[in-house]
Amino acid sequence: MNYIFYILIVFSVIFGVINGKTQEVVNAILDGADVSVKIALSLIGIMAFWLGIMRIAEKAGLVQWLAKLIKPVTKWIFNDVPPENEAIGNVALSVSANALGLTNAATPIGLKVMKELQEINSNDKETASDAMCMFLAMNTAGFQIIPATVIAVLVAVGSKNPTEIIMPTLIVTSIAFVSAIIIAKIFQKFWKNKLISPSEKGVNND
Amino acid sequence: MINILSLYALPFIIVLILTIGIVKKVPIYEEFTEGAKDGFSVAINIIPYLVAIIVGISMFRASGAMDSIATFLTPLLTKFTIPVDSIPIMITRSLSGSATLGLFTEIAHKLGPDAYATKLCAVIVGSSETTFYVLSVYFGSIGIKKFRYALLVGLLADFIGIVAAVLVCSWIFL
């Protein structure tokens, strides 16, 4: 992340000078900082709402039930998380919320998953665990059944058949989703052998 | 029709959770407020991470670097039946959600809903997430600073998604 941060900013300045856009680059610092805080603040209310709802779901045993239901799949995907941990149930909820295009619900639930995974993180608390990388691989691949925003744009420009993109989108999103999981699995093995990571403490014999 | 599903899913899930809670004698009001307490701290915790990533990407966008990359890649990509107009979206997709949506709206307006480039962009935008944003928010919320291979996996999956979008779209729409 250190290099990426450095490259982003240094390249921006260099390209800004080349393209004669230095003023825009400077303005972007202020705009970007401003937008970041606005995004965070706008999250507070909806975060609180979904964390409240999720707490009820947990106390009612719904999350645990869901975790048990998907255990056959998650046992393989999240081999470093106890299969009946609440995080697993919440992973299922988060992926479903994303799939249905419920972004407002997906982010709070996803952040809750991260918090639960952090509690069982065997690395130091500043280093991502394999389970976190796997969960984020699933998330960044963005599995979606209904691309609602895209359809809305197509409707706005007068598309007669905006739903025709659902089928190809579904195929592509599935391919990306499955590849993300497989790639994360491969990295999980490779990264462990390459670096002497603190996760060696809990030796896995899979 | 399919939009109806996404419209009703949310209220349905909320009612379902509350009902099961009541049936199981969970004190739903107390538990709700107890859970909701964390909303503020989570949102505030992600600010430093968001500032780092969003400022970086805003500067990158403003510098015109993406246009330069797009111009550089155009001769190569047009060989694979990829329309010139869809190239900026492929580069922006992993970096910025709002920029991607803005570009997509622009393309849809300029070329109309029936253009191949519009459909290809629609599939690319609809099938993926903004990798950089997701990573910074999710890791930021719990203070993770070393991402290990997460970014690499996200970007590889994005790349596979774009390749798949090009193949599937040229098969269905061309």
Mean pLDDT check: name the lowest of A27-31, A45-49, B140-144. A45-49
Cβ of A36 within 8 Å of Cβ of B55? The answer is yes
Closest chain B residue to the Cα of A42, Cα to Cα = B43
Burial class (CB in 10 A: 0-12, 13-18, 19+), A200: exposed
Cα A154 from Cα B76, distance rounded (Å): 28
Split at pLDDT 50, 70, 90, the class of A115 is very high
**Dist. CA A191–CA A197, nearest whole Å:** 8
Residues B20 and B79 both lie in one domain: no
**Residue B146 β-bridge partners:** A127
Please state the domain count of chain B.
2
Q: How far apart are CA A156 and CA A160, in angstroms?
A: 10
Q: Are residues B19 and B72 in the same domain?
A: no
CA–CA gap between residue B5 and residue B93 (Å, rounded): 26
Question: By mean pLDDT, which of A23-32, B36-45, B144-153 is the weakest?
Answer: B36-45
A6 at B interface, C-beta within 8 A: no
CA dihedral B31, B144, A37, A151 (to 10 degrees): -80
Task: For residues B122 and B107, state if they share a domain.
Answer: yes
Task: Determine the structural domain holding residue B92 and report its residue range.
Answer: 41-173
The arithmetic mean of pLDDT across residues A162-172, rounded, is 88
Helix boundaries (H) for chain A? 2-18, 22-59, 62-69, 71-77, 86-99, 103-119, 130-141, 148-156, 166-194
Nearest residue of B to residue A119, measured between CA atoms:
B142
Which token pair is A200? 């060696």
Q: Are residues B67 and B130 in the same domain?
A: yes
Residue A206's pLDDT is what?
40
Q: Does B55 lie in the same domain as B13? A: no
Could you identify the residue written with the tokens 């130091």? Answer: A124
Please report, as a single letter, which amino acid is at residue B152. Answer: L
B144/A132 Cβ within 8 A: yes
- At B163, which helix (H) or strand (E)? helix B150-173
B112 and B162 part of one domain:
yes
Q: How many CA atoms lie within 13 A of A86 on its CB side?
A: 19
Indicate whether B131 and B149 sit together in one domain: yes
Residue whose token pair is 């209310």 = A45
B55 Cβ under 8 Å from any chain A Cβ: yes
Residue B4, pLDDT score:
66
What ipTM goes with this model? 0.83
Same structural domain, B60 and B119: yes
- B:66-125 residues touching chain A, CB 8 A cutoff: 67-68, 101, 104-105, 108-109, 112-114, 118-119, 122-125
For residues A41 and A93, give the distance between their C-alpha atoms in angstroms, rounded to a whole number.
24
CA distance B121 to A40: 28
On whether both B69 and B5 belong to a single domain, the answer is no
**What is the rounded CA–CA span in Å between residue A74 and residue B145?**
26
| Domain range list for chain A | 61-201
Test mutation, A37, A59, A66, chain B, max B CBs within 10 A: A59
Are residues B69 and B145 both part of a single domain?
yes
pLDDT score, position A205: 41
Residues of chain A with Cβ-Cβ distance to B137 below 8 Å are 107, 111
B96: closest CA among A69, A8, A161, A6?
Answer: A8
pLDDT-based confidence at residue A196 (cuts at 50, 70, 90): very low
Residues B3, B89: one domain?
Answer: no
